Structure 1
Amino acid sequence: MTTWINETLHHEFRSGFFAEKILVDKKTPFQHLIIIENRLFGRIMLIDNVVQTTEADEYIYHESISHLPIFFHGGIERVLIIGGGDGGTAEEVLKHTEIKHVTLVEIDSIIIEASRTYLKSICKDAFEDERLNLVIGNAKTYVENYYGPKYDLIIVDSSDPIGPAKELFSESFYIDCKKCLNNEGVLVTQNGVPFFQGKELSSTLKIFNNLFSDASCFIATIPTYVGGPMAFGWGTDNLDIRKTSSNIILNRFKNSKLKLKHYNTEWHNTAFALPEYIARLILD
């Protein structure tokens, strides 16, 4: 059966995807999961009728949120991924041979199972990598109660602030994330499309400005997430990271020998260059 699946993230605007086939349509204990096939985007995952990822353009999102902080920092070995149940962010992070440990905390095991079954092109073998520690549980509780070795990078690859993900945008959550970081560690967050979700970005950066010495955001344009560029929050107490020269970034990238589809040093060097309407959002 073919049908249209409408995304309902925004009350005043909707977009839809024609489903050639519905692969998954299941209510988990936490949310409503749908995976469909579409001729343009390939397989698409939606949670509560909000697009999470598609086979066609997932690489833009996942390469942006992972490789930029890794190449900027230059010394990341331990990574915590919050959410990211499709495995795409973990797959990109684990491409770096210097990464020794990744913990991924996902509240919904059914998302993991569905990704392994239907989104193998996105997660590939990330869940089987011996460096990956998969934790099925509440991420807010995890960071609240974490007393293990500190992380060099925390990536909050959450869905939008709806349902169980809402608490992953709170001040208390970000404070606990910082406690899990090394002194020179970096926190990167998914903060939606500012044209539609400006309050979400402003709220996060207001918290970051009080928490970190260097708080900002970088952007990337991802076709699936309509409304213009998507914003990724950035917070660190190391003021030198974003001063790293373009030549050093280029050398790190060349030495990695990674062949990527979106990330390159030209994009990296301009990712923090914000149009005025976004710059104003993070200064308010």
Structure 2
Amino acid sequence: MVNSGLIKDGWFCEVNDNSFPGQGLALKVEEVLYHSKSEFQDILVFKSSSYGNVLVLDGIIQATERDEFAYQEMISCIPLYAHKAPRKVLVIGGGDGGVVREVVKHSSVESVTLVEIDEFVIDLAKEYLPGMACTFGHHKVQVKLQDGFQFLRDVATRERYDVIITDSSDPEGPAEAFFQQEYFELLHSALNDDGIVIAQASENVWLNLGYIQNLVKTAKAVFPQARYCYTTVPTYTSGQLGLIVCAKDKSVNLEHPMRSPSLEEQSQLRYYNAGIHTASFVLPTWAHHQIYR
């Protein structure tokens, strides 16, 4: 049985007064495809009437077939094109496969390590979100089934990456650790000297500006550069989702791509381009002043 708090009268309702006080999101449900609890989280997959199949973790929409590319491309392309020659990439979370799908499109990338704690998410994505999970068998991809925080602790003394992408859940419960200073310190240790890290920041300027301000401050305590940008995702509450990007080298200009997509790469992109890369860092005046004051 599907939790009656999630689906009522044929509508999935996402209401979270902690993250999105006073507002919510609803999608019409055509069919419930899967619902269960894994060792780590509540997992729901349903077919919606307008956004295709939808993956929900602990009551929060993680991806829909219709708009997922807006998030996957931006969280992948911004650090990859801001880097002069990314070869070795680490992805923390992202068990739906969307980020990995985008990373392997880049010709300079030689290897991608995906660290996902919940194998159920990978299996369900393969079954219900095949457009996202289509590159798990790619020769560049290696999957590690373990906690991302512990992986970084273990790997910090022996591995270095050009780009690290943190595709975690929202900063509540177990995922809250991914937004603390210790985590940024582990990311810093696991990067090459010219490395770049990007993380899903969850909040946007319309929902919780104070949280963004504190997150950027936390990142700046570790990295010489930390910038906030965003992408537009209709099924994220308020339609905008934040990203935080950090560079180990203070001379790197995160807001402008160092490279342009090749013709082949650009032909596979639906959202990202050089113009939107730069524009995503441009914030409303009041928000810019609050975040960077």
TM range (shorter): over 0.9
Query: For residues 119 and 255 of structure 1, what CA distance do their matches in structure 2 show?
Result: 24
Instruction: Tell me the SS of whatever aligns to 2:143.
Output: strand
With 205-214 and 1-10 compared, the bigger mean Cα shift is at: 1-10
Provide the residue aligned with 2:74 in structure 1.
64
Provide the residue aligned with 1:266 in structure 2.
275
Query: Map of 1:87-126 to 2, 5 A cutoff?
Result: 87-124=97-134, 126=135
Query: For residues 278 and 292 of structure 2, what CA distance do their matches in structure 1 show?
Result: 21
Q: Deviations for 1:26-51, whole angstroms, at most 9, x for unmatched residues?
A: 11111100011012110111101100
Q: Which has the higher helix share?
A: 1
Query: For residues 244 and 156 of structure 1, what CA distance do their matches in structure 2 show?
Result: 19
In structure 2, the CA distance between the partners of 1:200 and 1:137, relative to structure 1 (3 Å rule), is: farther
Of 226, 234, 250, the match for 1:223: 234
In structure 2, the CA distance between the partners of 1:23 and 1:96, relative to structure 1 (3 Å rule), is: same
Runs of 4 or more above 6 Å deviation: 243-246
C-alpha displacement of 1:238: 2.0
C-alpha displacement of 1:256: 4.0
In structure 2, the CA distance between the partners of 1:26 and 1:281, relative to structure 1 (3 Å rule), is: farther
TM, length-normalised to structure 2: 0.90
In structure 2, the CA distance between the partners of 1:227 and 1:243, relative to structure 1 (3 Å rule), is: closer
Query: For residues 242 and 218 of structure 2, what CA distance do their matches in structure 1 show?
Result: 16
1:6 matched to 2:16? no
In structure 2, the CA distance between the partners of 1:26 and 1:245, relative to structure 1 (3 Å rule), is: closer
C-alpha contact (below 8 Å) 1:215/1:234 kept by paired residues: yes
Query: For residues 254 and 118 of structure 2, what CA distance do their matches in structure 1 show?
Result: 38
Aligned positions, number: 281
User: Residue 167 of structure 1 aligns to which amino acid in structure 2?
Assistant: A
C-alpha displacement of 1:249: 3.5
Instruction: Tell me the SS of whatever aligns to 2:106.
Output: coil
Query: For residues 231 and 243 of structure 1, what CA distance do their matches in structure 2 show?
Result: 15
C-alpha displacement of 1:257: 4.9
Provide the residue aligned with 2:218 in structure 1.
207
Gaps of 5+ in 1: none
Query: For residues 46 and 116 of structure 1, what CA distance do their matches in structure 2 show?
Result: 15
Query: For residues 290 and 199 of structure 2, what CA distance do their matches in structure 1 show?
Result: 16
Q: Deviations for 1:76-112, whole angstroms, at most 9, x for unmatched residues?
A: 0111111101100000001112211111111111011
TM, length-normalised to structure 1: 0.92
User: Residue 63 of structure 2 aligns to which amino acid in structure 1?
Assistant: T
Query: For residues 104 and 115 of structure 2, what CA distance do their matches in structure 1 show?
Result: 15
Query: Map of 1:106-255 to 2, 5 A cutoff?
Result: 106-124=116-134, 126-146=135-155, 147-194=157-204, 195-242=206-253, 249-250=259-260, 252-254=261-263
User: Residue 22 of structure 1 aligns to which amino acid in structure 2?
Assistant: V
